[in-house]
Amino acid sequence: MAAPEVTHLPNLPNDVEGLRQSIRDAVVRVVGEDPRQATERDWMEALAFAIRERMVERRLLTRRQFADEDVKRVYYLSMEYLIGRMLEANLRNMGILEPARQAMADLGVNLDTILDLEDDAALGNGGLGRLAACILESLATQGYPGYGYGIRYEFGMFRQEFEPYHQVEHPDNWLRYGNPWEFPRSDRKYPIHFYGHVVEHHHPRGETRYTWENGEEVLAMAYDYPTAGYGRRNVNNLRLWAAKATRDFDLRYFNEGDYIRAVADKAESETISMVLYPNDATAIGKELRLKQEYFFVSASLQDILDRHLALGYNLDALPDKVAIQLNDTHPAIAVAELMRLLVDCHELSWDRAWDLARRTFAYTNHTLMPEALETWPVELMERVLPRHMGIIYQINHDFLEQVRHRYPGDNDRLARLSIIDEQNGRRVRMAHLAVVGSHRVNGVAALHTQLLQETLFEDFYNLWPERFVNVTNGVTPRLWMIQANPALTELLGQRIGNDWQYDLDRLRALEPYAHDADLQKAFLDVKRANKVRLANLVRERTGVELNPDVMFDVQIKRIHEYKRQLLKLLHVVDLYRRIRAGEDVAPRVVLFGGKAAPGYARAKGIIQVINEVADIVNHDPAVGDRLKCVFFPNYEVSSASIIIPAADVSEQISTAGFEASGTGNMKLALNGALTIGTLDGANIEIRDAVGEESIFIFGMTADEVVEHRRNGPNPEAILAQQPNLAAAVEMIESGFFTCDDPGTHGDLGRYLRHEDPFFVIADYAAYTEACERADTLYADRTAWAEAAILNVARMGYFSIDRTVRDYANQIWDIIPEPVAPSRTNGAA
């Protein structure tokens, strides 16, 4: 037993005075600056250090309690975490936002100015990465023992600029000033191997053993980011891995006297964690990407097993003490890696290891898009991860034996189910590996899970129906309401108290007041103030002036054909033409935001044409405030939290059957925007929750889309019957919006007329009709306010806390372990 001084944790004070002292000290001791000369950035860093000391203290308390209580832990393996800024979130969740504001003011510094200096941590592309960040926050908030694992990319999601209309990507050097939130753990390093070859060792009695030899080695070093729960003392941990060259690796060349080569090679091996692939829902099949996936998976599994054994458990207890969630297939190689660790390193028998692995893993699918389904050429896998290829063959062999037994003679089924796709030049299907190696597979909204069962995983579903479950996505109300919308938070507090912050279903208490005139007025005032706040930001970023008294109609998400930004754009062009023709149309501001994958030419073309149209519309004196169109540059988490509270209308207009869930739809609706949407993803559940009167549903259903495609769509014929739509298409393709180069959009015209793969043309009439319903309601301020308030009141189901509880109960089998005030530290 160590002496009390050794086990004591500091227990720092959280009042204004205590914080002020910590911050002032940190300027000197950590930042190394004279408080008289400290810049705003110096103060920001000092503040961050003062908070992180307090976070780590609670982190250690949390860890001690989890160890004492023998808890089961869940590990979330994700290539992406789209976190955004951490300073305000940490202050808020630690419960010291207001004392810190005061302490900073006492030091002569304005907290809001400081908050604005921070770069977003954008270690993700979009929905999947943001969901991962919400899940970690909720795990901590609800007191679950849950940890994230990922990659500490030196360059996150690119910064988007328009030059002047098309997207240009700039590197996101988010770590250039260092990062006060991370704890580098030089004691937590694991060797990761690539390439080399496998040696078989035959034992006369017993199984053949394998060793993997002579590969390239790189080290994975841990960087820890404490994650604080809201209104609780629990602080969990996000562990991100960075690649470091091993010393041995350098030595080879040093010995040969090739100093430069040695250093260059060191740099080369560290590129593994250098950059996030900026592709959303498309697999890119690059060797470096496979190395990234394996790198973080291997490090995480080694770490998980180390902790498991250090806590005194044996390997047979793995599924009782550990759950591992695979966030899409990016970490699916974990199935083979855990087998390697258990069989090759810990010398378990194959069958025992397989039983443990399968009961430990679960897999979340985030998309049905075929181009997102990761497959790796067998040849590549064999070269980079030769041992894993062997393991995958073995897994597949055992699996197909089972299938053969169940469906004798059904070779087509075998080929469809096999982990190896033999049709397309032999590839490893990572989704199949994930399904075979997991005890649960989930989709992220009811329709999505149903479609998984009926299409992508139909054969698997027939084999193992009990393996498939739905867990509808959610969003954290802490970021997406309390932080993003302080004015509405305040209003809710006045009306129904603050219980909803922990239990979002309590928003229902608002329902009886939905037609209360005072509440309606206050609600509309809040919305208007949020619109003014956004208008200021838009002016600053784009120079465009927005009138806060017209409808703000918002489509913010990655740019994808299936998300149909073109449908919204055609509506804008249609309105513009009609305004010019002297028609009276309901006024609106249309705001787009989102990034296109750098290699996705069609998506980049869509950005360009939106910017061109916006430029003409916004400068046409005949239009004035009746129509404004803005493409908000570099849409990211921090700008989302300004845009979302200001939206009147939320555009969720994907081709039905293509959007797995959506989470922007939830954030916007929670903030009182009414949805114009198709019956796709979680829109269906949102409609069920808010009621038909608070949502504008339109367009083909998923079944009708399939039917429509089967019947051979004919956009030309539809255009012939819809003069407004035809005129809008003509206006674009004629070069009206590209005065200097009329030919530019001929291709877009052809695309819409002859291909239209996502049925923009087919859904257009229904779409504009839904927009008009929204316009009519918007014109009636009372009716609109009532619908919007009801919308907020009924969004409780879409809290990430409910999502996490669903995972905990249906998949992970873990229970919350709230941290009690420490006996020895007595901190409140």
Residue 784 and residue 778 in contact, taking contact as beta carbons nearer than 8 Å: yes
Among 57, 561, 659, 763, binds ligand 6GP (CB under 6 A): 659
HSE at residue 363, side-chain half, CA atoms within 13 A, is 27
Among 57, 280, 636, 685, binds ligand 6GP (CB under 6 A): 280
Q: How far is the CB of 291 from ligand 6GP (least distance, A)?
A: 19
- Closer CB to ligand 6GP, residue 473 or residue 738? 473
List of residues 6+ apart from 649 with CB closer than 8 A: 551, 552, 553, 554, 588, 673, 674, 675, 676, 774, 778
Q: Which of 232, 239, 432, 563 is catalytic?
A: 563
CA distance 677 to 635: 21
A 10 A CB-CB count for 727 gives 15
Q: Which of 233, 478, 557, 595 is catalytic?
A: 557
Q: Is 663 a catalytic residue?
A: yes
Answer yes or no whether residue 281 interacts with ligand 6GP by CB under 6 A. Answer: yes
Among 47, 111, 128, 492, binds ligand 6GP (CB under 6 A): 128
Structure tokens at 806: 């669903």
CA distance 442 to 768: 35
CA distance 486 to 594: 24
Q: According to the 3-state scheme, what is the secondary structure of 755-780?
A: HCCCCHHHHHHHHHHHHHHHHHHHHC
Stretch that binds ligand 6GP, among 333-341, 364-372, 403-411, 453-461 (CB under 6 A): 364-372
- Using Cβ positions, the residue closest to ligand 6GP within the complex turns out to be 127
Among 26, 47, 114, 127, binds ligand 6GP (CB under 6 A): 127
Among 660, 719, 761, 762, binds ligand 6GP (CB under 6 A): 660
CA distances, 588 to each of 545, 553, 695, 777 (Å): 13, 7, 18, 13
Answer yes or no whether residue 367 interacts with ligand 6GP by CB under 6 A. Answer: yes
**Is the peptide bond between 370 and the residue preceding it cis, with omega within 30 degrees of 0?**
no
Partner residues linked to 428 by β-bridges: 376, 420
Q: What residue type is assigned to position 360 of the chain? A: T
Answer yes or no whether residue 473 interacts with ligand 6GP by CB under 6 A. Answer: yes
Among 226, 662, 672, 677, binds ligand 6GP (CB under 6 A): 662
Q: Is 455 a catalytic residue?
A: no
Partner residues linked to 148 by β-bridges: 76, 238
Q: Is 366 a catalytic residue?
A: yes
Answer yes or no whether residue 444 interacts with ligand 6GP by CB under 6 A. Answer: yes
- Closer CB to ligand 6GP, residue 141 or residue 663? 663
- Of residues 131-150, those binding ligand 6GP (CB under 6 A): 131
Q: How far is the CB of 292 from ligand 6GP (least distance, A)?
A: 15
- Closer CB to ligand 6GP, residue 80 or residue 172? 80
Query: Site for ligand 6GP (CB under 6 A): how many residues?
Result: 19
Answer yes or no whether residue 657 interacts with ligand 6GP by CB under 6 A. Answer: no
- Of residues 107-126, those binding ligand 6GP (CB under 6 A): 125-126
Structure tokens at 582: 């002297």
- Closer CB to ligand 6GP, residue 367 or residue 453? 367
List of residues 6+ apart from 268 with CB closer than 8 A: none
Answer yes or no whether residue 384 interacts with ligand 6GP by CB under 6 A. Answer: no
Helix (H, G, I), strand (E, B) or coil at 123: strand
List of residues 6+ apart from 36 with CB closer than 8 A: none
A 10 A CB-CB count for 659 gives 30
First to last CA, the chain: 26
Answer yes or no whether residue 236 interacts with ligand 6GP by CB under 6 A. Answer: no
Stretch that binds ligand 6GP, among 127-135, 452-460, 699-707, 791-799 (CB under 6 A): 127-135
Stretch that binds ligand 6GP, among 28-36, 54-62, 234-242, 659-667 (CB under 6 A): 659-667
Q: What residue type is assigned to position 154 of the chain? A: E
Among 167, 641, 661, 675, binds ligand 6GP (CB under 6 A): 661
Q: How far is the CB of 277 from ligand 6GP (least distance, A)?
A: 10
A 10 A CB-CB count for 148 gives 26
Structure tokens at 810: 């249906």
Q: Which of 366, 432, 467, 527 is catalytic?
A: 366
Q: Is 667 a catalytic residue?
A: yes
Helix (H, G, I), strand (E, B) or coil at 358: helix
CA distances, 19 to each of 25, 100, 232, 712, 828 (Å): 10, 7, 19, 67, 15
Residue 822 per-residue DSSP state: P
Q: Which of 449, 663, 678, 738 is catalytic?
A: 663
- Closer CB to ligand 6GP, residue 279 or residue 608? 279
- Closer CB to ligand 6GP, residue 127 or residue 319? 127
Among 663, 683, 738, 799, binds ligand 6GP (CB under 6 A): 663
- Closer CB to ligand 6GP, residue 661 or residue 738? 661
Answer yes or no whether residue 372 interacts with ligand 6GP by CB under 6 A. Answer: yes
- Closer CB to ligand 6GP, residue 46 or residue 276? 276
The H-assigned helical ranges of 225-347 are 247-255, 259-269, 287-310, 318-321, 334-340
Q: How far is the CB of 483 from ligand 6GP (least distance, A)?
A: 20
Residue 127 and residue 216 in contact, taking contact as beta carbons nearer than 8 Å: no
Answer yes or no whether residue 278 interacts with ligand 6GP by CB under 6 A. Answer: no
List of residues 6+ apart from 490 with CB closer than 8 A: none
Q: What residue type is assigned to position 305 of the chain? A: L
Helix (H, G, I), strand (E, B) or coil at 413: helix
CA distance 246 to 191: 8
Q: Is 563 a catalytic residue?
A: yes
Phi, psi of 229, rounded to the nearest 5 degrees: -80, 155
CA distance 470 to 447: 9
Q: How far is the CB of 300 from ligand 6GP (least distance, A)?
A: 19
Q: Is 321 a catalytic residue?
A: no
- Closer CB to ligand 6GP, residue 131 or residue 760? 131
Answer yes or no whether residue 328 interacts with ligand 6GP by CB under 6 A. Answer: yes
Q: How far is the CB of 670 from ligand 6GP (least distance, A)?
A: 15
Stretch that binds ligand 6GP, among 375-383, 452-460, 661-669, 714-722 (CB under 6 A): 661-669
- Closer CB to ligand 6GP, residue 325 or residue 661? 661
Binding site for ligand 6GP (CB under 6 A): 125-128, 131, 280-281, 328, 366-367, 372, 444, 473, 659-663, 681
Catalytic residues: 366, 557-558, 563, 663, 667
